Chains A and B, each alone.
Chain A
Amino acid sequence: MNSTIPTTTQPKAGSTPVARLEVQGLAKTYGHGPKSVEVIKDLTFSIHAGEVVCIVGPSGVGKTTLLKCLAGLQPSSGGTMKIDGHQVSGPPAEMALVFQDYSRSLMPWLTVEKNLLLPLRHLHLPAAEVRTRIEEALNEVGLSHAAKRYPWQLSGGMQQRVAIARALAYRPEILIMDEPFASVDAQTRFDLEDLCLKIRDELGMTILLVTHDIDEAVYLSDRIVAIGNKPAQVLEVLPVDLPQPRNQITSRALPEFSGLRTKVLSLIRQSES
């Protein structure tokens, strides 16, 4: 693990892309012997600084296992993962994780601001900086007014914004999200997707998102890692050339958008049959 205090401004993906996160031959098998289950066979991909990359695959393909391995919550059975060229074991300090299930990842006994404070405590930052980080993060997700409320007093979309704000206040260099918008309504989902793109643009964060929603993947990504088959392996890494900034109405109406969607969908369908 290298430096614990990440910088907030990263060069945007552009002329000279740097591999921020490099996954090489990642494999995961549960159990031993004849009863063992191979969930992930071989995953190889890399993410450049400031990129938004979506991992798309059919449900039950082992996306959550993959994420747990990436976040260092679970040991992998093979392969390597490197951040800026350094191999990682345990949970990397420069990484934050947003779970799909916001109601379970937020602590119900803590107010919104205390939830944001929770992961910051062990960083031992000056009190003033902690305060600024929390205020800025809540402001970023538009929840400054809800600082003193409890998560369970908020709607699902607001709770997921709290979970995102908690990740932002932690100032990770890499943000990993596990189907973060799967359990919110369609309108909130669009808002949260745009929030995701906004924090990338403003804070230069590198974002890895796991989803089963192909439209969402096409809309958000700079590149899509399509995975399929049991055990999971990379089918193809597709660049998404839609113009930036993305727009929920115009970007989704582009012919390239539906072209990409068709391509990803048929890739995944093929792998299933």
Chain B
Amino acid sequence: MTTLKKITQKQLFLPLFSMVLVMLINMIYDVAHGNPFYNFFTISINSQGILYGRLIDILNRGSEAAILAIGMTLVVSASAGTDISVGSVMSLAGGVCCVLLAGFGNVNVNSYAVPLWVGVLAGILTAGLCGAFNGFLVAFLKIQPMVATLILFSAGRAIGLLLCNSAIVYVNVESFKMFGGYTWIFPTPLLITAGCVLVTALALKFTALGTYVQAVGINKDAARISGYKSAAIIFLCYVVCGLFAGIAGITATSRIYSADTNNIGLNLEMDAILAVALGGNSLGGGKFRLSGSIIGAYTIQAITTTLYALGVSSAQAPVFKAVIVIAIVTIQSPVVKAYMKKRKAAKQLESGKEVHAS
């Protein structure tokens, strides 16, 4: 009993448990359809010389959400709020990148107008600037995070559309397709995600970033007395979140080698927020685990992929997401927690009485 409790109280229990559940459903599904139960995990190299399999597919497609989840984790931890502009900012970053590469006004090109790295860097920096704008509003003007990021939520995508003259700008150059394609046998988005996670994990391991963010997120006033500049740290988190949104935006754009401003990153902010919550991190800020959010992001992708495999259309899938969100937040709800505690105390009292009686 106590060991079981210890396991369930671990922070990574929730995302891992969901992940295992999804895998089980997949296995049952496979067996029911006469496939071997390990079908889900099969990874092979196909005729084009790249890794192939459902697991790889999930890892590939979940990349953008996972990259966003990194930044979102920091923002949630430090400011106890969410950045709902990331999807829109992704789209803007992709738009800026493609417009620069294609040359302003062109819709379909086969060669770059500027070097590739200029376009990519400009896209990511634009996103960083968006993050700085959000951070300024939240950290220095003390506006609620959701409200502050609402501005870019509606403007980011629209500015991208204006840049692209409301058209889809195609960049038909092989080197641009690289970010969304394959490197050797691996999907590049997976490698990009790995790179982002690695950089952040190293920053958390070798600098005091984690202590700074968590201290400010848990108790701003105590952190201030101990010499931490809360506003500057919150600002930094939003900038980092913006930069990661930019990277995710470039990746998503490269997949379709075009700036489809209307659709890139659509609703991805919700996935990122959900990933953070599913990873066992409180949306009320404070302590966080990066690994939880990453696993959370891939779990959501696994659920989506599984639903598609079960024949649920992409438009219908949100129904299940809604159920998951409600389940997670209900467990985290202070009222439910208090009720559980009370029940537990009552039970203990009862068993105590019994002991007394005997």
Answer yes or no: are A and B bound together in one complex. no
